Amino acid sequence: MRMPKPRGALSEWTVARLGASAPEVALRPAPNADSWDDEAIALWTLHELSYRGFEDATDEGEWDPEVLLVRHRLESDLEARLRVRWPGADAAPADVPAALETVVSEDDGPSLADHVRRRATLDEVLELLRQRSIYHLKESDPVAWVVPRLPVRAKAALMELQYDEYGDGDPNRLHHHLFAQGLVAVGLRSEYGAYVDDALPETLELNNAVSLFGLHRRLRGAAMGHLAAFEMTSSLPSRKMVQGLDRLGLDGPMAAYYDEHVEADAIHEHLASQDICGTLAEDEPDQAAEILFGAWTCLDLEARFATALLEQWDVGS
Protein backbone atom coordinates (compact mmCIF):
# COMPACT_ATOMS: atom_id res chain seq x y z
CA MET A 1 0.00 0.00 0.00
CA ARG A 2 1.16 3.50 -0.83
CA MET A 3 0.51 6.53 1.35
CA PRO A 4 -2.82 8.27 0.77
CA LYS A 5 -3.25 11.51 -1.14
CA PRO A 6 -2.91 14.58 1.10
CA ARG A 7 -6.07 16.52 1.91
CA GLY A 8 -4.41 19.66 3.26
CA ALA A 9 -1.25 21.13 4.72
CA LEU A 10 -0.87 18.68 7.63
CA SER A 11 -1.33 15.51 5.60
CA GLU A 12 0.96 16.94 2.92
CA TRP A 13 3.63 17.45 5.61
CA THR A 14 2.99 13.93 6.94
CA VAL A 15 3.43 12.25 3.56
CA ALA A 16 6.53 14.31 2.83
CA ARG A 17 8.08 13.60 6.23
CA LEU A 18 7.48 9.86 6.02
CA GLY A 19 8.56 9.52 2.42
CA ALA A 20 11.33 12.11 2.41
CA SER A 21 10.17 12.96 -1.11
CA ALA A 22 9.88 16.72 -0.56
CA PRO A 23 12.64 17.86 1.83
CA GLU A 24 11.53 21.49 1.72
CA VAL A 25 8.19 20.38 3.19
CA ALA A 26 9.41 17.57 5.44
CA LEU A 27 11.94 19.72 7.29
CA ARG A 28 9.46 22.45 8.17
CA PRO A 29 7.59 22.24 11.50
CA ALA A 30 4.28 20.42 11.18
CA PRO A 31 1.48 22.89 10.32
CA ASN A 32 -2.01 22.88 11.76
CA ALA A 33 -4.63 20.89 9.87
CA ASP A 34 -6.60 22.76 7.22
CA SER A 35 -9.75 20.77 7.88
CA TRP A 36 -11.24 17.76 9.65
CA ASP A 37 -10.52 15.77 6.47
CA ASP A 38 -6.87 16.82 6.63
CA GLU A 39 -6.59 15.94 10.31
CA ALA A 40 -8.33 12.58 9.92
CA ILE A 41 -6.23 11.34 7.01
CA ALA A 42 -3.02 12.49 8.69
CA LEU A 43 -3.80 10.53 11.86
CA TRP A 44 -4.89 7.48 9.87
CA THR A 45 -1.57 7.59 8.01
CA LEU A 46 0.41 7.85 11.25
CA HIS A 47 -1.51 4.99 12.83
CA GLU A 48 -0.90 2.77 9.81
CA LEU A 49 2.82 2.96 10.49
CA SER A 50 2.15 0.62 13.43
CA TYR A 51 0.22 -1.83 11.26
CA ARG A 52 1.52 -2.74 7.78
CA GLY A 53 3.27 0.49 6.85
CA PHE A 54 3.61 1.89 3.34
CA GLU A 55 5.71 1.01 0.33
CA ASP A 56 6.72 4.64 -0.09
CA ALA A 57 7.40 5.45 3.58
CA THR A 58 10.52 4.74 5.59
CA ASP A 59 10.21 2.20 8.40
CA GLU A 60 12.04 4.63 10.68
CA GLY A 61 9.11 7.03 10.43
CA GLU A 62 7.11 5.04 12.98
CA TRP A 63 9.45 6.24 15.75
CA ASP A 64 10.47 9.62 14.33
CA PRO A 65 10.19 11.98 17.35
CA GLU A 66 8.68 14.77 15.25
CA VAL A 67 6.11 12.38 13.82
CA LEU A 68 5.28 11.07 17.30
CA LEU A 69 4.67 14.62 18.52
CA VAL A 70 2.17 15.20 15.71
CA ARG A 71 0.48 11.87 16.38
CA HIS A 72 0.20 12.69 20.07
CA ARG A 73 -1.39 16.03 19.27
CA LEU A 74 -3.90 14.52 16.87
CA GLU A 75 -4.73 11.65 19.22
CA SER A 76 -5.25 14.06 22.11
CA ASP A 77 -7.61 16.14 19.99
CA LEU A 78 -9.53 13.04 18.88
CA GLU A 79 -9.86 11.66 22.41
CA ALA A 80 -11.00 15.03 23.73
CA ARG A 81 -13.64 15.22 20.99
CA LEU A 82 -14.90 11.72 21.78
CA ARG A 83 -15.09 12.41 25.51
CA VAL A 84 -16.95 15.70 25.02
CA ARG A 85 -19.60 13.84 23.02
CA TRP A 86 -20.04 11.12 25.64
CA PRO A 87 -22.84 11.93 28.11
CA GLY A 88 -21.02 10.01 30.83
CA ALA A 89 -22.03 6.94 32.77
CA ASP A 90 -20.76 4.70 35.51
CA ALA A 91 -21.58 1.29 36.92
CA ALA A 92 -20.45 -0.95 39.71
CA PRO A 93 -18.00 -3.51 38.32
CA ALA A 94 -20.50 -6.35 38.73
CA ASP A 95 -23.11 -4.38 36.79
CA VAL A 96 -21.00 -3.64 33.71
CA PRO A 97 -22.56 -6.35 31.47
CA ALA A 98 -26.05 -5.06 32.28
CA ALA A 99 -24.90 -1.48 31.70
CA LEU A 100 -23.58 -2.50 28.29
CA GLU A 101 -27.00 -3.94 27.47
CA THR A 102 -28.52 -0.60 28.39
CA VAL A 103 -26.08 1.35 26.21
CA VAL A 104 -26.92 -0.91 23.28
CA SER A 105 -30.67 -0.90 23.85
CA GLU A 106 -30.77 2.92 24.00
CA ASP A 107 -28.91 3.34 20.72
CA ASP A 108 -31.21 4.90 18.13
CA GLY A 109 -28.77 5.59 15.29
CA PRO A 110 -29.78 4.98 11.68
CA SER A 111 -29.33 1.48 10.26
CA LEU A 112 -27.34 1.13 7.06
CA ALA A 113 -28.03 -2.60 7.11
CA ASP A 114 -31.76 -1.96 7.11
CA HIS A 115 -31.38 0.36 4.13
CA VAL A 116 -29.37 -2.31 2.31
CA ARG A 117 -32.00 -4.95 3.10
CA ARG A 118 -34.93 -2.87 1.89
CA ARG A 119 -34.00 -0.45 -0.84
CA ALA A 120 -30.30 0.34 -1.38
CA THR A 121 -29.13 0.46 -4.98
CA LEU A 122 -26.19 -1.55 -6.24
CA ASP A 123 -24.06 1.60 -6.42
CA GLU A 124 -24.90 2.47 -2.81
CA VAL A 125 -23.98 -1.00 -1.58
CA LEU A 126 -20.68 -0.93 -3.45
CA GLU A 127 -19.91 2.48 -1.92
CA LEU A 128 -20.72 1.11 1.53
CA LEU A 129 -18.35 -1.83 0.96
CA ARG A 130 -15.58 0.50 -0.20
CA GLN A 131 -15.97 2.57 2.96
CA ARG A 132 -16.17 -0.52 5.17
CA SER A 133 -13.05 -2.00 3.61
CA ILE A 134 -10.92 0.52 5.51
CA TYR A 135 -11.85 -1.36 8.69
CA HIS A 136 -12.76 -4.86 7.53
CA LEU A 137 -9.45 -5.51 5.80
CA LYS A 138 -7.76 -5.22 9.19
CA GLU A 139 -10.78 -6.38 11.25
CA SER A 140 -9.46 -7.49 14.67
CA ASP A 141 -5.90 -6.21 14.36
CA PRO A 142 -6.49 -3.11 16.56
CA VAL A 143 -7.90 -5.34 19.30
CA ALA A 144 -4.82 -7.57 19.23
CA TRP A 145 -2.77 -4.73 20.74
CA VAL A 146 -4.79 -5.07 23.96
CA VAL A 147 -4.10 -8.77 24.67
CA PRO A 148 -0.95 -8.33 26.82
CA ARG A 149 -2.58 -5.51 28.79
CA LEU A 150 -5.45 -7.50 30.29
CA PRO A 151 -5.78 -9.53 33.48
CA VAL A 152 -5.87 -13.28 33.06
CA ARG A 153 -9.64 -13.92 32.78
CA ALA A 154 -10.29 -11.16 30.27
CA LYS A 155 -7.16 -12.12 28.35
CA ALA A 156 -8.24 -15.74 27.99
CA ALA A 157 -11.72 -14.73 26.81
CA LEU A 158 -10.35 -12.21 24.33
CA MET A 159 -8.01 -14.82 22.88
CA GLU A 160 -10.96 -17.18 22.43
CA LEU A 161 -12.79 -14.48 20.49
CA GLN A 162 -9.71 -13.49 18.51
CA TYR A 163 -8.94 -17.10 17.58
CA ASP A 164 -12.31 -17.23 15.84
CA GLU A 165 -11.75 -13.84 14.16
CA TYR A 166 -8.44 -15.09 12.82
CA GLY A 167 -9.98 -18.21 11.30
CA ASP A 168 -9.38 -20.84 14.00
CA GLY A 169 -5.88 -21.30 12.62
CA ASP A 170 -7.01 -21.59 8.98
CA PRO A 171 -5.66 -18.66 6.91
CA ASN A 172 -8.53 -19.07 4.46
CA ARG A 173 -11.06 -18.45 7.25
CA LEU A 174 -9.57 -15.20 8.58
CA HIS A 175 -12.46 -12.78 8.66
CA HIS A 176 -10.55 -10.01 6.88
CA HIS A 177 -9.53 -12.53 4.20
CA LEU A 178 -13.19 -13.53 3.74
CA PHE A 179 -14.07 -9.86 3.29
CA ALA A 180 -11.30 -9.47 0.70
CA GLN A 181 -12.70 -12.44 -1.21
CA GLY A 182 -16.12 -10.81 -1.07
CA LEU A 183 -14.75 -7.58 -2.53
CA VAL A 184 -13.26 -9.45 -5.47
CA ALA A 185 -16.53 -11.27 -6.06
CA VAL A 186 -18.49 -8.00 -6.38
CA GLY A 187 -15.89 -6.43 -8.67
CA LEU A 188 -14.05 -4.26 -6.13
CA ARG A 189 -10.37 -4.06 -5.26
CA SER A 190 -9.27 -6.18 -2.32
CA GLU A 191 -5.81 -4.74 -1.56
CA TYR A 192 -5.37 -3.44 1.98
CA GLY A 193 -6.16 0.28 2.04
CA ALA A 194 -7.25 0.32 -1.61
CA TYR A 195 -10.04 2.84 -1.03
CA VAL A 196 -8.58 5.09 1.64
CA ASP A 197 -8.47 8.03 -0.78
CA ASP A 198 -12.26 7.71 -1.07
CA ALA A 199 -12.83 7.42 2.68
CA LEU A 200 -15.20 9.89 4.30
CA PRO A 201 -13.86 11.72 7.37
CA GLU A 202 -16.47 9.80 9.39
CA THR A 203 -14.95 6.55 8.12
CA LEU A 204 -11.48 7.71 9.07
CA GLU A 205 -12.56 8.91 12.52
CA LEU A 206 -14.23 5.57 13.20
CA ASN A 207 -11.02 3.76 12.30
CA ASN A 208 -8.78 6.24 14.12
CA ALA A 209 -10.74 5.73 17.33
CA VAL A 210 -10.28 1.95 17.19
CA SER A 211 -6.54 2.39 16.65
CA LEU A 212 -6.32 4.99 19.42
CA PHE A 213 -8.00 2.65 21.91
CA GLY A 214 -5.90 -0.32 20.85
CA LEU A 215 -2.52 1.42 20.84
CA HIS A 216 -2.75 2.98 24.31
CA ARG A 217 -2.60 0.75 27.39
CA ARG A 218 -4.50 3.28 29.52
CA LEU A 219 -7.44 2.97 27.09
CA ARG A 220 -7.73 -0.81 27.35
CA GLY A 221 -11.15 -0.54 28.97
CA ALA A 222 -12.41 1.69 26.17
CA ALA A 223 -11.03 -0.76 23.61
CA MET A 224 -12.89 -3.66 25.19
CA GLY A 225 -16.08 -1.64 25.57
CA HIS A 226 -15.87 -0.71 21.91
CA LEU A 227 -15.39 -4.37 21.01
CA ALA A 228 -18.38 -5.41 23.13
CA ALA A 229 -20.72 -2.85 21.57
CA PHE A 230 -19.58 -3.85 18.10
CA GLU A 231 -20.17 -7.55 18.76
CA MET A 232 -23.48 -6.95 20.53
CA THR A 233 -24.90 -5.01 17.59
CA SER A 234 -23.59 -6.85 14.54
CA SER A 235 -25.46 -10.17 14.35
CA LEU A 236 -28.86 -8.77 13.27
CA PRO A 237 -27.34 -6.16 10.90
CA SER A 238 -25.24 -8.93 9.34
CA ARG A 239 -28.43 -10.90 8.65
CA LYS A 240 -29.97 -7.82 7.03
CA MET A 241 -26.84 -7.33 4.92
CA VAL A 242 -27.16 -10.92 3.67
CA GLN A 243 -30.79 -10.31 2.73
CA GLY A 244 -29.92 -7.08 0.93
CA LEU A 245 -27.00 -8.61 -0.94
CA ASP A 246 -29.22 -11.52 -2.00
CA ARG A 247 -31.85 -9.02 -3.20
CA LEU A 248 -29.25 -7.41 -5.45
CA GLY A 249 -27.88 -10.71 -6.76
CA LEU A 250 -24.67 -10.53 -4.73
CA ASP A 251 -25.32 -13.86 -3.03
CA GLY A 252 -21.74 -15.13 -3.21
CA PRO A 253 -18.60 -14.64 -1.08
CA MET A 254 -19.66 -11.16 0.09
CA ALA A 255 -22.95 -12.50 1.44
CA ALA A 256 -21.05 -15.45 2.91
CA TYR A 257 -18.82 -13.06 4.84
CA TYR A 258 -21.83 -11.45 6.53
CA ASP A 259 -23.53 -14.81 7.00
CA GLU A 260 -20.45 -15.96 8.92
CA HIS A 261 -21.03 -13.07 11.34
CA VAL A 262 -24.69 -13.83 12.00
CA GLU A 263 -23.79 -16.84 14.14
CA ALA A 264 -20.26 -15.89 15.16
CA ASP A 265 -21.18 -12.50 16.59
CA ALA A 266 -24.10 -13.94 18.52
CA ILE A 267 -21.52 -16.09 20.33
CA HIS A 268 -19.03 -13.23 20.57
CA GLU A 269 -21.65 -11.04 22.23
CA HIS A 270 -21.57 -13.09 25.43
CA LEU A 271 -17.80 -13.43 25.34
CA ALA A 272 -17.28 -9.70 24.92
CA SER A 273 -19.84 -8.38 27.41
CA GLN A 274 -19.58 -11.00 30.15
CA ASP A 275 -16.24 -12.78 29.93
CA ILE A 276 -14.10 -9.88 28.72
CA CYS A 277 -15.71 -6.65 29.94
CA GLY A 278 -17.41 -8.19 32.97
CA THR A 279 -14.26 -9.80 34.34
CA LEU A 280 -12.07 -6.82 33.41
CA ALA A 281 -14.33 -4.53 35.45
CA GLU A 282 -14.26 -6.93 38.39
CA ASP A 283 -10.48 -7.29 38.31
CA GLU A 284 -9.78 -3.62 37.56
CA PRO A 285 -12.74 -1.57 38.88
CA ASP A 286 -11.28 1.69 37.56
CA GLN A 287 -11.94 0.39 34.04
CA ALA A 288 -15.72 0.12 34.46
CA ALA A 289 -16.52 3.65 33.28
CA GLU A 290 -13.94 3.39 30.50
CA ILE A 291 -15.67 0.26 29.19
CA LEU A 292 -18.95 2.17 28.95
CA PHE A 293 -17.19 5.11 27.30
CA GLY A 294 -15.77 2.81 24.64
CA ALA A 295 -19.12 1.12 24.04
CA TRP A 296 -21.02 4.39 23.69
CA THR A 297 -18.33 5.80 21.41
CA CYS A 298 -18.53 2.78 19.11
CA LEU A 299 -22.26 3.27 18.61
CA ASP A 300 -21.94 7.04 18.26
CA LEU A 301 -19.27 6.78 15.58
CA GLU A 302 -21.26 4.16 13.70
CA ALA A 303 -24.30 6.45 13.79
CA ARG A 304 -22.29 9.39 12.46
CA PHE A 305 -20.89 7.24 9.67
CA ALA A 306 -24.36 5.95 8.75
CA THR A 307 -25.82 9.45 8.79
CA ALA A 308 -23.05 10.76 6.52
CA LEU A 309 -23.62 8.01 3.94
CA LEU A 310 -27.40 8.29 4.01
CA GLU A 311 -27.16 12.07 3.55
CA GLN A 312 -24.74 11.55 0.68
CA TRP A 313 -27.29 9.24 -0.94
CA ASP A 314 -30.09 11.71 -0.14
CA VAL A 315 -32.22 9.09 1.61
CA GLY A 316 -33.85 8.98 5.03
CA SER A 317 -32.72 6.61 7.73
Q: Are residues 37 and 159 in the same domain?
A: no
| Residues 53 and 100 grouped into a single domain | no
Q: Within this chain, do residues 49 and 105 fall inside the same structural domain, yes or no?
A: no
CA distance 158 to 148: 10
Distance CA 199, CA 37 (A): 9
pLDDT value, residue 316 = 60
Q: What is the pTM of this model?
A: 0.95
Residue 1 lies in a domain: no
Number of separate domains in the chain: 2
Exposure class string for 95-118: b at 16+ Cβ within 10 A, else e: ebbebbeebbeebebbbbbbbbbe
Q: What is the pLDDT of residues 96-152, one digit of tens each?
A: 999 999 999 999 999 999 999 999 999 999 999 999 999 999 989 999 999 999 999
Predicted confidence at residue 261, as pLDDT, reads: 85
Residues 142 and 277 in one domain: yes
Residue 317 lies in a domain: no
58 and 189 share one domain: no
Please name the residues in contact with 121: beta carbons below 8 A apart, sequence gap of 6 or more.
none
State whether 106 and 42 are in the same domain: no
Residue at which a domain ends, from 83, 107, 130: 83
d(CA 267, CA 46): 34
Task: For residues 114 and 259, state if they share a domain.
Answer: yes
Question: 151 with 285, same domain?
Answer: yes
Model pLDDT, residue 26: 66
> Which residues touch 31 (CB under 8 Å, ≥6 apart)?
9, 10, 13
Same-domain status, 148 and 268? yes
Q: Supply the range of the domain harboring residue 65.
A: 9-83
Residue ranges of the chain with pLDDT lower than 50? 317
DSSP character at residue 167: G
Distance CA 136, CA 130 (A): 10
Position 176, amino acid: H
Based on the fold, state whether residues 131 and 246 are members of the same structural domain.
yes
Last residue of a domain, one of 60, 83, 106: 83
265 vs 285: CA distance, rounded Å: 26
Whether residue 161 contacts residue 271, with contact meaning beta carbons closer than 8 Å, is answered with yes
Position 282 in a domain? yes
Residues 41 and 102 in one domain: no
Q: Which of 83, 115, 134 is the last residue of a domain?
A: 83
231, 134: one domain? yes
